[in-house]
Every structure is written in C-alpha cells, then in structure tokens.
Structure 1
C-alpha cells in the first residue's frame, strides 16, 4: 500500500526529492520532497472528506488520464487511496470527479485543477466545480481511513513493485498502473526519485537529465 510506504519514506528521508515535474510548454519546474508530497496528499485527503465524499467510494480522477505525468495527478491518486477510495482514470459516473483545465466533465461533486506549478487556482474560478486551490485551507493532519486496505486503479489492485533508490527521468507517460508503479510507488518504497518532463524535444531532455543528475528511463 502506498499510504504506509509514504509515511515510512517521509520518516526515513523526507527532505530528499521525490517528484520533480518539468513542463516544457510552460517552461516550469516544480520539485516536491517526500515530505512536501505527503503534505499535499494529506491536505487533499482532508479535502475529499470535507467535500462529503465517503471513504471507500470510487473517485474518477480523469486528470490522471489527460495529464498522467503531472504532480497534481499523482497527489490525487495517493490521496484517494489514503481515503480508501478506488481510483478510476475514466469517467465512470462516480460521485466525485477530478478534472484538469478545459475539461467540462462533471459529477455530483466536481473538482477542477488549474495545474499551476505552485498549486494556485484559476484566474476565473469554474462556476460548477470546486477550485482545487481550496486545498490550501485544509489542515496538514494525516488522516488515513480504515477503508485504506488495498490500492485499486481502474478496478485492479496494484501489483507488487521493487523498491527503487535511483533518480530516473520519465517522458511522455501513459496512464495506468505500470506508469504509477515505476514513477511513484517504486521510489516511495525506496529512497529514489522521479523527474517527469513533458513537452520537451529529445535534445532538451538530455540537458534536463544532466541538470537533474537523472538517468533517462528506457
């Protein structure tokens, strides 16, 4: 399970980088240590509860399909699992849906994420969805649900993964379990980290890998 593994990682080496996200189109870089990532996860898990979504009930994190490599997508998946909620990367009709900018899909409860590199909200907040910036008002308290007993993605339990201590650079991630296991779960289980670069030409990726002391994932 990711939730206890993340707690162990924070306790062992919380200050070390866990996720570094590059957006070549916007020319931005966001780095999250294990402690910072866990803080975002805790706040988001508390937001889920504050919205009234029941622990153990599915969440359609379609953001993880439209923007699989974004750090906000990874936070939402980890937060859903912390609440014991199965994650769907498609719109299945769950009571809560999480979307990115320009995505008009809605449910009984809808959260829209601007994907600002610092987590800021929309310049014009969506009228029919909660702006994810509301997460900043949530407490930093860790609250793991009793329902958090198995991490489910698109109806399947995550497979076991070998812990990773290395720093890898990922490009053009595809939605799904393989990506999550490689980029998020494996480094959380160990002391590794992931650099995720989207929107870059191949020659620029070499420069990113060099600057980040990362090995390009094959």
Structure 2
C-alpha cells in the first residue's frame, strides 16, 4: 500500500515537497520531497536488514509514542513496512526497538534517534544502542522484502485513506493522524503535508499563510 504508492509518487512527482516539518522546540524547518523521503526509507530499511532483524518480525517504535508526528517516525514506519515488519507504537518486547533522545529503554537491538533537524547523530554514542546516524552508511538501493510490505500498526491493518492533492497543515497531530493525513493521503495523490509540533497558535497561523497550506 504505502511503499508501492511511494514508488509511484517518486516516479511521477518526485521533486516537489511531500512533507515539511516544523519543530517549535528549536525553531527548525525540514522539507522532504518524495525522492528524499523515499531515500531515507530505503536507507533505513537497509539498516534494519543490516542489523540482522528478520523481515516480517515486529519492530517496536517507541518514538511513535514519544514523537508521533516527527518525520523520522514516519520514515521508520515506512521502512519497517518495506521490510514486511508490523509496527508496534511503543514497547512490546520486539527484538528491535527504536527510541528517541533521552529514552533509555533497550531491547536485544536498539536504535537511538537524535531527531536532529539534519539527521545528525548524538554528540556522544548512546549507551547500549546503535546511533541512527549509521543510516548514512547504507546504500541508496530500494530493497523490498520478498514477503511483501506490511500494513500492520498496533496489531491491526491500517485502513486505506483517500488520496489527497491538497497542501494541508497538521498541528500537533497524534500518531494516527500523522500517518494517515500526513503521509498516506499525500503519497497516494499529488498533495503535501506541513506538520508543526510545539508551536504557538499565532505561529501556526503564520505557518499556514507562509506555506499556503489549509489547516485540518
């Protein structure tokens, strides 16, 4: 569903913005085209395989609970599905766990994400975890799982959503809205999403005007 749609989006409309992300905590703005987003997904999917995690085995995305609308969370969700892996938004005991900054929980294999606007790693290596910065060493190769892509989120298949051709603004969306309206809908169509987290109401209004986005 998502991965096939993303490949089609890259082929027909790869260069324009797909996701624009604002973080009120540090004032950053990150813009990802479909090509750039797909590249992050491919590299992350290859990292999952390189870490020895089997296709089809669940992945615990703790960052989906702590940072549900971050663009890195959306990349990890898509990459897990590309490997045929169900996504659990939390900690359920999966062999592979993905955490955000300051999260000390660990599993058999843990990847820690700094969530730096430019994707940079931690100043000091995270104890007991792989720094997500290692993703930069992965090849830019699309490697789909022979099992096919997963659509499982928290134990249930994600329902198809209507394609969107609009540019919309989501302010502090929960994980479900970030995934459906923020990623699945625009990927299926020609739309794009502006996601703003931790911004004041007046800043959200100015972002909508600056980005020419309709607030949902």
Query: Whole-Å Cα distance in 2 between the matches of residues 214 and 12 of structure 1?
Result: 22
Q: Is the 8 A contact 2:99 2:111 kept in 1?
A: yes
The secondary structure found in structure 2 opposite 1:204 is helix
**Corresponding residue for 2:184?**
185
- Which structure 2 residues correspond to residues 51-70 of structure 1 after superposition, within 5 A? 51-70=51-70
Query: Whole-Å Cα distance in 1 between the matches of residues 51 and 178 of structure 2?
Result: 29
Task: Give the TM-score normalised by the residue count of structure 2.
Answer: 0.98
Query: Whole-Å Cα distance in 2 between the matches of residues 149 and 44 of structure 1?
Result: 14
Query: Whole-Å Cα distance in 2 between the matches of residues 169 and 179 of structure 1?
Result: 10
Query: Residue 65 of structure 1: CA displacement?
Result: 1.1
Task: Return structure 1 stretches of 4+ with deviation > 2 angstroms.
Answer: none
Q: What is the RMSD of the two structures over their aligned residues, measured on CA atoms?
A: 0.8
**Corresponding residue for 2:198?**
199
Q: Is the 8 A contact 1:85 1:148 kept in 2?
A: no
The secondary structure found in structure 2 opposite 1:93 is coil
Query: Whole-Å Cα distance in 2 between the matches of residues 55 and 204 of structure 1?
Result: 42
Query: Residue 3 of structure 1: CA displacement?
Result: 0.6
Any gaps of 5 or more consecutive residues in structure 1?
Answer: none
Any gaps of 5 or more consecutive residues in structure 2?
Answer: none
- Which structure 2 residues correspond to residues 1-218 of structure 1 after superposition, within 5 A? 1-176=1-176, 178-217=177-216
May I ask how many residue pairs the two structures share in their alignment?
Answer: 216
Q: Is the 8 A contact 2:112 2:129 kept in 1?
A: yes
Query: Whole-Å Cα distance in 1 between the matches of residues 178 and 140 of structure 2?
Result: 28
The secondary structure found in structure 2 opposite 1:4 is helix
Q: Is the 8 A contact 2:165 2:192 kept in 1?
A: yes
Task: Give the TM-score normalised by the residue count of structure 1.
Answer: 0.97
Query: Residue 160 of structure 1: CA displacement?
Result: 1.4
The secondary structure found in structure 1 opposite 2:111 is strand
